[in-house]
Structure 1
């Protein structure tokens, strides 16, 4: 699997749903294993050297972020625009437990099927061809990745599409990027995930300025592939978010799994992604760029203050915020505070100020208010 470490703090810190939108884990059954002894540094190196690119499996995801049940509002919020639909979908995936099937064959072939009780949502990439399908709504979005001449490389994914339902590898990448002197790295009990023996890598912040208590990553002992990620809020013995494989095969999936054609009667929308790539070959700033789109952000580039686990991302949304603040989802989830409104989850805080700024981080809400007041 491509070993590109993403900055995890910006990824989880843009409108609350980004940490949660990392959907996939209800969590795979685990048991003890008997493995050769390794140091934490050796397990980190094992992950870094992982080259698994072809696999298929079932992902189980569960979230307990302290969010209220907004299913009625999210399904009937009356928002007809793309941002409202994106936020509603993210919130729905951020609560409870969910199951997904995933198929991967290199960086340019990926299919994720999020399985609902009576419906299915698919995200498919086959080379430059992208599809997002909702069987319940009978809708599909189709896009074509820009060519090199448009600023993207063939291996790039557009913002927010590199997985749709992030794999444990994608989640682990975001957290492992933060491994520095502010993080204690240790090993927990060896375990078995999806029938594979795994080391348990534990990341513990060395600061009180974060809501994250620890992150546990199950690392496949043979390949170094992350099999499960659990994120614990400070002071909690139960994971606030977890994603892991319950089934996993390292065989190459059949090529026809990546050939998608919408069923008859599907309403298809074509999307132009050319303006979502910034010309530097990185696809336009990764996960944070997608979050900005979901919020209807046309403001400034995000700035980051603080360090490590206590980092705070700030951006100016610009324009009239009435569309956001008048949404029933917003009033249900946000709490009015001096100078704005706060959305608080077990792992992430988000502050929307009255003057149109958005501050977010895996930090207590009062730290966001202090940062906003210091401007």
Structure 2
């Protein structure tokens, strides 16, 4: 459980470092604004994203992942939950009211997985397992302008893409688009150098509210079809019913209390053991976590390793269109938006 909690901190770090790296070397050119929108520079769009004019919304989000992963049978993929999002197309319902009240429901054909936050209380609920988990966030947690600490939303993806700012990325604007019936400007992040699996990231920003409406990540090997896309298909800025953010486990359900991490992971060891370290910069950064029980990560489904990874000299490699992960034989996990050979060299 300790290793699992540390990996939950490592995953957003991998995304932020390897799919981000936005630089403030902005383009002076504005988008052609076919919808008649006032021109905005890339610098202005970056400022817009940091200052949404509303913190209440609800809508439907479609998430599509085409990462080149093999199709998993139901028994291997497990129940509906975050792991489900790594492949295929999925629908989520999203509600938010302020920086600390949010709800996301990942919907399946016969099941639903919910993440509900109200203040410091966070609940997850699986209808398949009739199980709930409860987490109390530390008091020092500061919330972003919109709730980005929930599963699979455009705001979450945009925040990850903009989390690291350095000179490794060109930031420009592209043609205005319409997303979920809303006029939106597009911010484009493109790696300046070579070596990254990511070709570009496009963020569609609502022209009226500055809310991220869609994020598309293109692989360097295919710049025409997004390898990962998360975006609203419909959206409303009306304040959701407050009852949506109150969760009570149904009678007869199993409830698990989860201890919050003592602190976000840093480059040194702490009371909870080794923490992730980062080597390199920008789009070719590599995140490493040591002391990992790889067998425990499969949660009783060891066939996942055989189906998702390939044996290499130092361990096993998971290779996707955007990110590679190396599980070494000595209990380390290395990940980055780089080819597997780069991870082996880093190891």
Deviation at 1:104, TM superposition (A): 0.8
Kept in 2: contact 1:190–1:200 (CA 8 A): yes
Q: Deviations over 1:250-272 (max 9, x none)?
A: 11111111122222332222333
Deviation at 1:13, TM superposition (A): 7.8
Of the three residues 123, 130, 134, the one matched with 1:131 is 123
Aligned to 1:309: 283
Q: Distance in 1 between matches of 2:38 and 2:46?
A: 15
- Taking the TM superposition and a 5 Å limit, the aligned residue runs for 1:148-187 are 148=139, 152-153=140-141, 155=142, 163-187=149-173
Aligned residue for 1:270, secondary structure, equals strand
Aligned to 2:3: none
Deviates more, 1:300-309 or 1:264-273: 264-273
Kept in 1: contact 2:265–2:275 (CA 8 A): no
Deviation at 1:188, TM superposition (A): 1.4
Kept in 2: contact 1:169–1:226 (CA 8 A): yes
Of the three residues 321, 335, 343, the one matched with 1:368 is 343
Structure 1 residue 344 corresponds to structure 2 residue 319: yes
Q: Distance in 1 between matches of 2:12 and 2:282?
A: 8
Structure 1 residue 277 corresponds to structure 2 residue 279: no
Taking a change above 3 Å as real, the CA distance of residues 285 and 197 of structure 1, as seen in their structure-2 partners, is farther
Deviation at 1:116, TM superposition (A): 0.8
Of the three residues 206, 209, 212, the one matched with 1:220 is 206
Kept in 1: contact 2:81–2:106 (CA 8 A): no
Structure 1 residue 121 corresponds to structure 2 residue 107: no
Aligned to 1:68: 70
Taking a change above 3 Å as real, the CA distance of residues 37 and 92 of structure 1, as seen in their structure-2 partners, is same
Kept in 2: contact 1:178–1:309 (CA 8 A): no
- Taking the TM superposition and a 5 Å limit, the aligned residue runs for 1:1-375 are 10-12=13-15, 33-75=35-77, 89-146=81-138, 148=139, 152-153=140-141, 155=142, 163-236=149-222, 237-273=224-260, 276-278=261-263, 284-285=264-265, 299-318=273-292, 321-324=294-297, 327-372=302-347
Q: Distance in 2 between matches of 1:300 and 1:285?
A: 9
Deviation at 1:127, TM superposition (A): 1.9
Kept in 2: contact 1:131–1:260 (CA 8 A): yes
Deviation at 1:51, TM superposition (A): 4.1
Kept in 1: contact 2:70–2:308 (CA 8 A): yes
Calculate the TM-score normalised by the size of structure 1.
Answer: 0.77
Alignment gaps of 5+ in structure 2: 1-8, 21-32
Kept in 1: contact 2:81–2:113 (CA 8 A): no
Deviation at 1:323, TM superposition (A): 4.1
Aligned residue for 1:277, secondary structure, equals coil
Deviation at 1:46, TM superposition (A): 1.5
Equivalenced residues, count = 318
State the superposition RMSD in angstroms: 3.0
